[in-house]
Every structure is written in C-alpha cells, then in structure tokens.
Amino acid sequence: MKIAVIGTGYVGLVSGTCFAEWGNRVVCVDKNADKIAALRHGRMPIYEPDLDELVERNYAAGRLDFTCDIAKAVEGAAIVFIAIAALPHPGQEDADLSVIYQAVRELAALISPDSVVVIRSTVPVGTGDAVHRIISSARTAGTFAVASNPEFLREGVAVHDFLVPDRIVLGVEEEWACKRLVELYDVPIERQNTPVIITMRRTAELIKHAANAFLATKITFINELADLCEEMGSDVGELALGMGLDKRIGAGLLAAGPGYGGSCFPKSALALLQTAQDHGVALRIVEETLAVNETRKRRMARKVTKALGGDIDGLTIAVLGLTFRPDTDDMRDAPSVPLIETLQRLGGRIRAYDPVGIENAAKVLSSVDFYEDLYECAKNADAVVVMTEWDAIRKIDLAQLKQKLRQPVLIDLRNALDTEAARQIGFHVCAIGKSAST
C-alpha cells in the first residue's frame, strides 16, 4: 500500500518508518527543507532510540522516502496521514489549527480518488468534521474518507510503542475506509492480537484527549500524595508500589516528580477542558489537574532554595537532565525550564547537563552553561538537582559527584538516585515524597 505522511516530526517519522517496516511504500513530507535534506543524507532530525536503524534500513530498501513536495507524496497514496503538531490553547484555537487546515487545503485537490485522509495529530474533537468539509469543498469528483487514528506513543520508546501498541483506535465511519485501515494494521491486529477499537471519528478524537487527561491526573494524584508523605514521614515509592500492584490502578505513571510536561499532556488536557467548556460541561478534575501541575512546577524551585538555606543569590546550581523525560531530545514544556528560570530570577547561576537535549534546551534557556559531562557540570556547584532520570544520571558515582561539588547538597526531584547511600557519604539530601525531604 502507498502511504503519505504529512509532517515528519516525532509522530510522523516514527509512524511513517514503522509503516514502511511493515512492507508499505511510504513518503514522508515536511515543509522544513533542512529536516528532509538531513533525512535524505542519513541524518536523524530527532533523537529517538532505535529509529535511526529503521529509517536507514527502509530508506535503503526503497520503501521509505522523504520530500518537501506534498503533490509527489500524495500521488497514488491509498492513505494520507496528517501528523502536524497543532494543539489549541484556550482562545487561540483557530490560529493553532490553521497549520493543519492549510495543509489539508493543499492536499485536498491532490489526493487520489478513494483515498483515506487520516488525522494522526492530537486535535480538538470535531477537527475531523472540519477537515472533511475543507476537502469536500475543494473536490468536484471522487470519493474520499476522513478518519481519526490517534497516536499513543511515548517519546523515548516510540518505536516499541508503535510496533507493539496497547490498542489501535480507528475513528472511521465508512466501511471501505475502515477495511483499508484494518488492513494497514494487519501486523499488530492479526499477529499480535492487538485490540482494535472502531468507533465514530469524534469518539476517537475524544479518546486521545481523555487518555492524556487521565494520565496527567494520575501523575498529579501521586505528586500530591508525595507532599502528604513528606509531612507524614511516609515514602511515596512504597506507597506507589502498594497502590500500583492493584491491577485496577496499574503501576504506570505512579512515580512522583516535579510535575508532568512534554508536548502532549499539558496541551491535551487544556484542549479537553476547552471542548467541555464549549459544550457547557464542567470537567473539574481536569481543571484542577492543570492548576495543581502548574503550581507544582513553580514550587520545585522553592524546594531547591529551601535545601540551600533559603537564599541562593550568587550560588551555583548544577541541573542534571533537561528534557521532559529520558531518551528524548524534546524540550517542549519540560519542567526544567520553569525551574531554571525561577532559580535564575532568585540569583542562582545554572550549569546544566543533558545527554542529548542541549541543542534544543539552548533554544529556550538563556544564561545557562551547558555540559555534556555529568561530573564537569557539577564542578564547584553548591547543589545538584536531578530533573530527568536519564540512565547515565541513575548510574552516577555519588562519591565522585560529591568530590566535584562545593557543597554536598543533592535535590533529587525524580527519586532517581539511592538517597540513603548519598546520605551515608555525607550528602544533604532532599527527594520527593520521602520523610527526610525538605
């Protein structure tokens, strides 16, 4: 099957490459010419484990291609995926979605008869209807279908999440189009018994936002419980274990931390809230989740200053990990940004380490000294703050770290390190949801 993917970012590149891996002929389009040129020269525009190998293999086999030419990509394509990032903020819905609508206007006249246009992006409920209207008004002949097939991948494990999904959601109302999409997902559906949910387009759009908002709520719930643990002398790790082993709850996303970030949860929860408000429905839990998470991210700087005696003016703080989660270079809505900016406002000097996120971090942070070496980053710092639980950070040699620091102060906002071992070698330790935390 020939497939076109419009938007070659984290979602488009992973999806397109994996569709090619399943034997399809895929052309990925992006308006960013540098990105396309890089891919054609074998350079990855994003960091995503295992993806480079898959791209290389499928490009070499001629199943995967990259272009800026949307006409070339959609010509003869049975399915056209839209994977452009566009999520609304309240009050700015039209402006944000216009990127998607513009792309749809472009492809409307170019798609082959009987093609299926699939929205892979996370979009507000009802976007599929608008996309259908745009295509209808641009075409005089030929049938087409517009479907929703939301993406659920996690950056850092995106290839695995795509190839071995928990479920496939197809919001498609035409039988012929549904058949084609089920055929496309033949490998997981037939060989892996992946559950497939076939539903109305609007329901599929809603499933994506509801899932994101629920996960954001789960994280926020354990974060608030962590605060309670600190006051009560309990341990949030053990609490999470005790809760998560209950299959109705599940162990995922019960790691307390500095507040969730990334390109999905915050914006998706906001989009859901706005949809509910537009329909006169109160989603108070989602509203509270958003508010609590924002406050929490700001409060993390207070945790750091408190661990340093209340005044950080002129002190140097080493921040370990910048990206919103490990194994990605994505800095969108990363909690490290508000933390660093607040510490800077309070007079702190920031040194920061990240294995792959420095290039993107440098675009959103200023006056930060970046290091690719953990221990170099910690040199002469008055405290070290763990912000992202990269493997290299988890495996840090605490004794070597202590030697580098001016003051042995460790603030572990991910509970990534062995805080007991750190204490034993003389660190003043502050973690999340543990009795001795500040």
Which of 263, 289, 293, 323 touches ligand NAD by CB under 6 A?
A: 263
Judge whether 299 is annotated as a binding position. Answer: no
Min dist. Cβ of residue 138 to ligand NAD (A): 15
Q: Is 264 a catalytic residue?
A: yes
Of 79-87, 237-245, 253-261, 318-326, the window that binds ligand NAD (rule: CB under 6 A) is 79-87
Nearest to ligand NAD of 134, 422 (CB atom) = 134
Nearest to ligand NAD of 153, 315 (CB atom) = 153
Judge whether 122 is annotated as a binding position. Answer: yes
Residues from 1 through 20 that contact ligand NAD (CB under 6 A)? 6-12
Residue 122 lies near ligand NAD (rule: CB under 6 A): yes
Which of 17, 20, 26, 35 touches ligand NAD by CB under 6 A?
A: 35
Q: Are the C-beta atoms of 128 and 171 separated by less than 8 Å?
A: yes
Judge whether 155 is annotated as a binding position. Answer: yes
Q: List CB contacts of 237: < 8 A, sequence separation 6 or more.
A: 256, 415, 433, 434
Judge whether 62 is annotated as a binding position. Answer: no
Q: What is the rounded CA–CA span in Å between residue 321 and residue 318?
A: 10
Judge whether 363 is annotated as a binding position. Answer: no
Residue 275 lies near ligand NAD (rule: CB under 6 A): no
Q: Is the dihedral of CA 14, 212, 100, 139 positive or negative?
A: positive
Of 83-91, 164-172, 301-309, 372-380, the window that binds ligand NAD (rule: CB under 6 A) is 83-91
Min dist. Cβ of residue 84 to ligand NAD (A): 4
Q: What is the rounded CA–CA span in Å between residue 231 and residue 432?
A: 11
Residue 163 lies near ligand NAD (rule: CB under 6 A): no
How many residues contact ligand NAD, by CB under 6 A?
Answer: 27
* Cα 226–chain centre separation: 23
Residues from 169 through 208 that contact ligand NAD (CB under 6 A)? none
Which of 3, 147, 153, 269 touches ligand NAD by CB under 6 A?
A: 153
Judge whether 30 is annotated as a binding position. Answer: yes
Residues from 95 through 114 that contact ligand NAD (CB under 6 A)? 99, 102-103
Q: Which residue is nearest to ligand NAD (CB)?
A: 9
Among 18, 229, 264, 430, the active-site one is 264
Min dist. Cβ of residue 343 to ligand NAD (A): 27
Binding site for ligand NAD (CB under 6 A): 6-12, 29-32, 35, 83-87, 99, 102-103, 121-122, 151, 153, 155, 263-264
Task: Point out the residues that are catalytic.
Answer: 264
